[in-house]
Structure 1
Amino acid sequence: MFVGKDECCDPAESQTLDQVLRSSLAWSTVFKQQVLGFIVGKKNYLVHEVMDMRRRTTTPREYATDLTITPYNNVGIIISCYIIGDSTCGQRALYLVGMTGMPIYNVNNNCSTGSTALFLAKQIIESGNAECVLALGFEKMERGSLSPKFLDRTNPLDRHVETMAAVAGFCDSPVPSQLFGNAAVEHMAKYGTKPEHLAKIAYKNHKHSVNNPYSQFQEEYTLEQILASPRIFGPLTKLQCCPTSDGSAAAILASEDFVHLHGLEGQAVEIVGMEMATDLPSTFDENSCMKVAGYDMTKTAAEKLFSKTTYKPEDVHVVELHDCFSANELITYEALGLCEPGKAGDFIDSGNNTYGGRVVVNPSGGLISKGHPLGATGLAQCSELCWQLRGLADKRQVPGAKLALQHNIGLGGAAVVTLYKLGFPHAHAKK
């Protein structure tokens, strides 16, 4: 079946979901970069993922596995997530795949939109209101830094920017770089962190990206090159900032019965827990640029997550962390509990954030290298962690990875923190 034109397919053709998502990503340039994730479970299991963030329409490995989960008309609800675009884009994309009359929601929650869709899909499954939910995220971005689109109304980040400006001033640099750059400046003043610590984070992530065939950029840079690249704001240079990206991602959730019905135990990855937090009074009341940038949102979500599970931060083996800027990765180490407050510099210097250290952070290359198509990023992170847990990450595989953590944040704001593990380890071992 070809869905490159304005054609609709008959659900009775019983396409597999692999074919459905392959087709849905072909209809327009919005979907040229592909990041797909299939998530299943009442306990929430991920069962298959493929990813590409580069400018091409096919990938070398993404369809190597013939996934035959279920016909498209078994999907009960769809959650579409994007930030830049007109209303009902999800319908426009998926009507070309099949028109079953299913409910389709369109979600926008800034850079955490992909994880927000996953969060909602998980709740729908757990409530019993659907057996199978598709979360579809995509973004086609303009070149250059992010800027407001609606100048005739209040910007949702006005209060964040005003709070930052009252503490640190305001200039003509891109606003996101000021928000996160000033968080780094505060950390440096408070704890003695150096610009080299920020550069080391970017060095690590660019180095990791070399082994990720689905990364938008796959170049390694020296620490000197990173520090010498054009300065964007404060200590942040160009090679410490994520690029604008086009991309897409998808995740399918279903009840635990669905996993057993389709014999997916051998590849199922369980969502152990998932928490979302929004801004607290401290964001605006404590004159802290770190808190304006979401430190307390992340800390709150992480603490709730660990308190509801049997795990602690030190149990985590691999992390996909929202490194929109190296500054955010630095402060988030502490907010997630990966190291003590004020100890991020030591954590970096000791190599505890990469292979051979305590935990591997952003083996994919992170947003800095992999790319950051806003509506898809959360689902792309999810895909990488599933590959890691299944031992399918090739040269970037984290040895012995059994517990994975995902961190996805959007200013304005929402932070989503998630834990994953293999759902049925014995079944996986038999594959």
Structure 2
Amino acid sequence: MSQPTYIAGVGMTPFKSPKNSAKSARNPDSDYFDLAVEAAVKALLDAGLTYDDVDSGVGCYVFGDSTCAQRVFYALGMTGIPITNVNNYCSSGSTGLYLANQAIRSGQSECVLVIGFDKMYPGALPQIFNDRTNPLSRILDLSKTLIPEADKGKKSPGWTPQLYANAQAEYLQRYGNAGAKNEHFAKITSVNRAHGVNNPYSQLAKTVSTKEVMNSPVITGEITRLQCCPSSTGAAAAIVCSEQFLKSHPHLAGSAVQIAGQAMSTDTPLLFEPPSAIELIGSNMTRLAAKEAYKQANITPRDVTIVELHDCFTTNEMCALEGLGLADEGKAWKLVQDGGISYGPGGGVGLDGKGWIVNPSGGLISKGHPLGATGLAQCTELVWHLRGWATTRAVDQTKYCLQHNMGLGGATVVTIYKRADGKPVPKAEDIKAEDDGRHRLGYNPAVEARSISKADWEAVKSRSGGSSKWATAHLPWVIHGDDYQERALL
């Protein structure tokens, strides 16, 4: 048995550099759990619900000990609900969404709160456990054999840049004669950074030119620093509910967004055989998940208008454009060259003369990439678009949005969203705040990033007796009260 699944509420914190989000005199209490609780409070406020409405929870993160999720959820209430911890590398957040979707579709749950968060380390991704087998060791070992001759013998900049530099070199070797150039990879950064300027949650909200990207310091191979996403700290959350829950809460009718299709895939032997640097970054997972998600939604790539895809490096965006069916194999560089991934007359020039708006949030390269939060931040952005809230980066007549979140090792989730009414997004002047839920927040979170107050937290925390002062005493808004908002915004 299966039933429709909906996103009833979303929320996120601004993504920041780990250097700027650590405890400081201005924000002395910043930690993963209060960032995560803040995102959850925003999602509950957005949905007009309290924690007592939630019958299951999923917490998603990479850098943290076991049961971090409980530490977060207990700050909202201790109601005894099942809480699951997810660590699926960069796709942890969307894996949490996938689990929530499965729980709803099976009838196991009616309302699931999914929270993604990470407090990362500055610089390249570290390998935390050095006394046991690295789950990516076979990928990394094979990657070393695929390093281009020009890069052999050079000091490694870290395992992730090398993987994507190898893939970029292979892409250029395959399609360079057709016209693919390093400039096309650099242009992806320029486009995403331009989009990020309009997102108040972006970590790097400053434009850069293609030339500036190419002239930034080389990390390895042809990848420069500005072609890499930054390390980030932040959180995002989503409330996933059933059709029956939606009907019993009629105030959600104007703001709920349906999951029209969703698929999760892992690797096949193509990851290793025959050896390919492009396959080592999980390209086949994208193809498999996209094919199934389109099938479930009964659409093709041509029906999608807005895409949030996993651009941890520009190489990954180039390959994902093809894996998602937005460009034919070996032709994504031309889609980028011709403006088919950004705003412009006709929205670019993709397949059949149609383009897509890719990463209107700025993507990982601009918005940032706190691993556990990324998939839920992508979901948040697309929900705002389908509601018609993302006015600074909106696309008229959007009907379907696509999310692509992947993690090496590996897991990839592709999700397709549509409005609950099945219609295209109406024009901004035709949307009334009292009909689409913005009045519940008192502002439009898609264009304005605010912190929460103690009153916000109190409005959504458990009222059924499932609260503990011991579990909440150290929350910053409990300690500082109304002064917390001012501190957090500094």
Q: TM-score range by the shorter chain?
A: 0.7 to 0.9
1:253 maps to 2:237: no
Q: CA deviation at 1:223?
A: 1.4
CA contact (8 A) 2:10 2:239 kept: no
Deviations 1:179-226 (A, max 9, x none): 111111111000112110000000000011111111111100111111
Of 15, 20, 24 in structure 2, the residue corresponding to residue 53 of structure 1 is 15
Query: Relative to structure 1, is the Cα distance of residues 68 and 115 closer, same or farther in structure 2, using a 3 angstrom cutoff?
Result: closer
**Residue 71 (structure 1) aligned with residue 68 (structure 2):** no
Going from structure 1 to structure 2, the CA distance change for 1:76 and 1:196 (only over 3 Å counts) comes to: same
C-alpha distance in 2 between matches for 1:258 and 1:375: 27
- Aligned equivalents of 2:383 and 2:227: distance in 1? 26
**Alignment map for 1:93-108 (pairs within 5 Å):** 93-108=72-87
- The one-letter amino acid of 1:184's match is Q
Q: How does 1:9-408 map to 2 (within 5 A)?
A: 42-51=3-12, 52-54=14-16, 55=21, 67=46, 69-168=48-147, 171-192=155-176, 193-263=180-250, 264-356=252-344, 357=348, 358-408=355-405
CA distance in 2, matches of 1:269, 1:74: 18
Query: What amino acid sits opposite 1:227 in the alignment?
Result: M
SS of residue in 1 equivalent to 2:7: strand
Q: Return the offset for 1:314.
A: 1.4
- How far residue 366 of structure 1 moved from its aligned partner, in angstroms, is 0.3
Partner SS state of residue 361, structure 2: coil
Deviation at 1:399, TM superposition (A): 2.2
Amino-acid identity (%)? 47
How much does 1:249 deviate?
Answer: 1.2
Residues 64-104 of structure 1 show CA distances to partners (whole Å, capped at 9, x for unaligned) of 99546333122111111111111101111221221111111
Question: For residues 392 and 60 of structure 2, what CA distance do their matches in structure 1 show?
Answer: 31
Aligned length: 389
Question: Matches of 2:318 and 2:80 in 1, distance apart?
Answer: 45
Q: Deviations over 1:29-76 (max 9, x none)?
A: xxxxxxxxxxxx9422223333322457899xx969954633312211
- Cα shift at 1:427: 12
Matched, 1:423 2:410: no
The separation in 1 between residues aligned to 2:419 and 2:204, in whole angstroms, is 29
Once residues 230 and 99 of structure 2 are traced to their aligned partners in structure 1, the CA distance between those partners, rounded to angstroms, is 27
Cα distance in 2 between the residues matched to 1:99 and 1:427: 40
Aligned residues of 2:67 and 2:85 also touching (Cα < 8 A): yes
For residue 267 of structure 1, give the secondary structure of its aligned residue in structure 2. Answer: coil
How far apart are the structure 2 equivalents of 1:380 and 1:172? 31
Tell me if structure 1 keeps the 8 A contact 2:101–2:240: yes
Change in Cα spacing, 1:65 to 1:392, as seen in structure 2 (3 Å) is farther
Aligned-partner SS, 1:364: coil
* 1:114 to partner: Cα distance: 0.2
CA distance in 2, matches of 1:363, 1:426: 21
Deviations for 1:336-357, whole angstroms, at most 9, x for unmatched residues?
1101001011111110111121
- Structure 1 residues 121 and 99, CA gap change in structure 2 (3 angstroms): same
**Partner in structure 1 of residue 469 of structure 2:** none
Partner Cα distance (1:168, 1:217) in 2: 30
AA paired with 1:74? D
* Cα distance change, pair 66–249 in 1 and its aligned pair in 2 (3 A): closer
Is the contact made by 1:266 and 1:427 (CA closer than 8 Å) also made in structure 2?
Answer: no
Please report the RMSD computed on the Cα atoms of aligned residues, expressed in angstroms: 2.1
Query: Given residue 218 of structure 2, which amino acid in structure 1 is its aligned partner?
Result: R
Q: Are residues 135 and 48 of structure 1, via their aligned partners in 2, closer, same or farther at CA, if it must alter by over 3 Å?
A: closer
Name the structure 1 match of 2:466.
none
Distance apart, 1:157 and its partner CA: 0.5
Q: What secondary structure, in the 3-state scheme, does the structure 1 residue paired with 2:146 have?
A: helix
Contact 1:107 1:113 in 2 (8 A): yes
Partner of 1:9: none
Measure the CA separation in 2 of the matches of 1:184 and 1:174. Answer: 16
The Cα shift of 1:426 comes to: 6.6
d(CA) in 1 for partners of 2:330, 2:109? 45
Q: In structure 2, do the counterparts of structure 1 residues 426 and 344 end up closer, same or farther at CA, with 3 Å as the change threshold? A: closer
TM-score (norm 2): 0.76
1:65–1:399 CA distance, 2 compared to 1 (3 A)? farther
Q: Structure 1: which amino acid aligns with 2:246? A: V
CA contact (8 A) 2:327 2:335 kept: yes
Unaligned runs of 5+ in 2: 22-26, 349-354, 436-490
Task: From the two aligned structures, give the one with the greater helix fraction.
Answer: 2
CA contact (8 A) 1:183 1:289 kept: yes
Give distance in 1, aligned partners of 2:341 and 2:423. 29
Q: What's the offset of the Cα at 1:133?
A: 1.0
